[in-house]
Structure 1
Amino acid sequence: MTARLTAELRTAALRTTALRTAALRTTALRTVIAVTASAGLVVGLTSCAMFEAPQPAGAGASAGAASAAPDPYVAPSAEAVAALPEARYDAVIAGLLAYATPTSFVPSGGDLDSVAEGGTAGAGTARAGAAGEGTAGAGTAGAGTAGAGTAEEGTARGASTFHLAADAALYGADRETPVARLAAVNFLGQNTVVVPVQSDGDWTMVFTPARQALPSQNGGVAAAQTTAWMRTSLLIADPPANAGDSTSPGVSGITVSVGAQTLTISAAGRADQTFAVGVGAAGTPTPTGVTGYIQARYLDPEQGEAVYPIQLTSLHSAVADDPYGGTDGGLIGVHFEEENTGQVSHGCIRLPADAITAVNALPLGTLITITP
């Protein structure tokens, strides 16, 4: 009896041990299954993140690869800019762009929203050069010149003007190698007036007061106006010419008709005032088919201009290096003269007193278009 009981107890103990072992195996198996399932879930989410919901450009570690390529432009140093030839009224710089007014021309300076306002130019430089009849230029715009304005109906309109905080590098068509510099201050020690022609993002095409070539070295004809590219960020907007004057309609520009021998000031896109004027003689004609701007004005008693300031344009003679025989680069001036009708000048536009007074009231940078 005792032996049988002892055997049964041993058998029960062995069964209990076996059951405990099986339970432990079951628990371990469940743990393995749970871990495996968890791992499978992680892989599944990762796969979903990789292939179904990629990160947007600019987010996470891969943002750099997805971002746009940086602007390759490298600004020249101040020393490099200073070593460039200055694009001033009496300079001839081959790398500039020849310019002829397109059939319809509207300067695009008004859409340069990215430029900063404010800022002043540095100290003035010494005055150099003279104008008046001595700034006479002549001839028609040379063939093959490049025009680059925005296409819109109408004649030249008033442009937004800008100035510079420091001398700026100017570029030709490739926008890679600087060919000249535009000084922050002009020969009168005043802020250089900068007039845009065309904007293209980080770049802006501007008028320059210099020449691209001399007629005598270019088959007897040369462009009367030049342009160049510069960085838009260097332009500082001038306040509107009519700021604070709500009654002024705003000046659109000046148009000179050589054939009609008239000068017309347009306001708000309409002809406002027209005057009879004198233009270039047959041998020293006023250039036509071109737009420039009034870059400076001043009195010059040595040339008989002690009462009415000379209006110095950015335009040059297209057929003579210097038809007046001076050293001013064949510039075209708009100025007072007693003899002010007919074909009488070396290329300049001669005005009576009331006309020069009206032009003198216009802001610097006002566009002037000369038509046949």
Structure 2
Amino acid sequence: MGSTRRTGRWAMVAAVAVLLAAGGAVLMTRLSAPAARTPASAAPTMTAPSPSASPTPTPTRTPAPTYDLAGVPKVDVFALIPALHTDAHPSQKLSGEVVRPKADRAPVFASPGGEPVAYLPHTDPYGGTTVPVVERRDGWVKVLLVGRAHVPSHGDAGQLTGWLRADDVTTRTLPAQVEVDISKHRIDIVRGDDRERIAGDFAWGREETPTPHGRAFIMMVRAAPSLAYTRGRPVVYLSVQSPALDGFGGADVAVTAFHYHDAHSGAISNGCLRLGASAITALAALPPGTPVTIRP
């Protein structure tokens, strides 16, 4: 009889163990339920836990690659960088959007991707670091640049272009642009729909030393006391250089500029645009990077 009772107890313990192993959650629900008995025919109920909201993943951005720029040339007025291309669309209008490097140096590319072929400094004694945008692609801006790919005696000396990463530059839009029309003898400063005629008579390059045509920008504004013909008035230097002269005045550059000269009418210059006093004053008030378009 005792053996039978012990056998029954062990059977009950075993049954409870099975229930705990297989249905522990059900047992806990019953133990936590109110004291009223659950009818034998009713199935026990459970409340499913509310699924916790999955946190929104924070997008990760792949850091832009860094480059060792020690071995590439600086983009400045003296540079000759044959790896960069000259402007393929010089007659297209500029938007007024300009950029400037955020850091001391921004890598310059011949085309988006690849390896840099030069760098654009944040500051330079001769300016040319605030540059107009001529095209945008995803993450990239194509800009006009100072310097040349070649001197005229060795190749195309036209206006340079290059690509910068958009993350490497700050962007703003300048309110004014300058439009020069040589055949119509007029120079205008254009601000939106407003057009200010600052010159109806000026001088431009002779046939053998022509003024370059197309789009460019103001590189810097600086007085040049050594140039007596300016009579102390500022010179507005442009990003583009002579299409005919390798250098000028003993220097190895031939920069085009707006400047004052007593004689300022007709095709008489070495390529620069000679103006009267009021026109030079108006142009000298414009900031570096201001787009300039010269039409023949």
| In 2: Cα distance, 1:309 partner to 1:362 partner | 12
Aligned partner of residue 16 in structure 2, secondary structure? helix
Answering whether residue 76 of structure 2 is matched by residue 88 of structure 1, we say: yes
Describe how 1:43-192 pairs up with structure 2 within 5 A. 58=57, 70-71=62-63, 73-76=65-68, 80-81=69-70, 83-101=71-89, 103-107=91-95, 158-160=96-98, 162=100, 165-187=103-125
Which aligned pairs between 1:1-372 and structure 2 lie closer than 5 A?
13=2, 16-34=5-23, 58=57, 70-71=62-63, 73-76=65-68, 80-81=69-70, 83-101=71-89, 103-107=91-95, 158-160=96-98, 162=100, 165-187=103-125, 193-197=129-133, 198-200=135-137, 202-218=139-155, 222-235=156-169, 251-275=175-199, 276-288=201-213, 290-304=214-228, 305-322=230-247, 324=248, 326-372=250-296
Q: Could you say if the C-alpha distance between residues 164 and 313 of structure 1 is closer, same or farther in structure 2, counting changes exceeding 3 Å?
A: farther
Quick check: which one's strand share is greater?
2
CA distance in 2, matches of 1:306, 1:95: 39
Moved over 6 A (4+): 53-57
Give 1 or 2: higher helix fraction: 1
Contact 1:89 1:328 (8 Å CA) reproduced: no
- Aligned partner letter, 1:185: T
Q: CA shift at 1:200, angstroms?
A: 4.3
CA-to-aligned-CA distance 1:183-241 (integer Å, 9 cap, x gap):
343335xx6541241444554333221001222212xxx25211222344443568x87
> Which region of structure 1 is more displaced relative to structure 2, 83-92 or 345-354?
83-92
In 2 relative to 1, CA 27–88 (structure 1 residues): closer, same or farther, beyond 3 Å?
A: closer
CA contact (8 A) 1:100 1:225 kept: no
Q: Is the 8 A contact 1:159 1:365 kept in 2?
A: no
Report the Cα distance in structure 2 between the residues aligned to 1:348 and 1:85, rounded to whole angstroms: 27
Change (3 A) 1:183 1:15: closer
The Cα shift of 1:362 comes to 1.7
2:260 and 2:4 map into 1 onto residues whose CA distance is 128
Asked if 2 retains the 8 angstrom alpha-carbon contact of 1:194 and 1:207, the reply is: no
User: Where do 5+ consecutive residues of structure 2 fail to align?
Assistant: 28-47
Of 358-367 and 222-231, the range deviating more from structure 2:
222-231
Which string of whole-angstrom CA distances, capped at 9 and with x for unpartnered residues, describes residues 80-102 of structure 1? Answer: 43x43222212211122311445
Maintained 8 Å contact 1:252/1:269: no
Distance in 1 (CA, whole Å) between partners of 2:7 and 2:225 is: 125
Instruction: Give the secondary structure class of the aligned counterpart of 2:251.
Output: coil
TM-score between the two structures when normalised by the length of structure 2: 0.76
Q: What CA deviation, in whole Å up to 9, does each residue of 1:300-331 have, x standing for no partner? A: 23322232111100011224424x46425221
Q: CA deviation at 1:258?
A: 1.9
Are 1:299 and 1:306, in contact at CA under 8 Å, matched by a contact in 2?
Answer: no
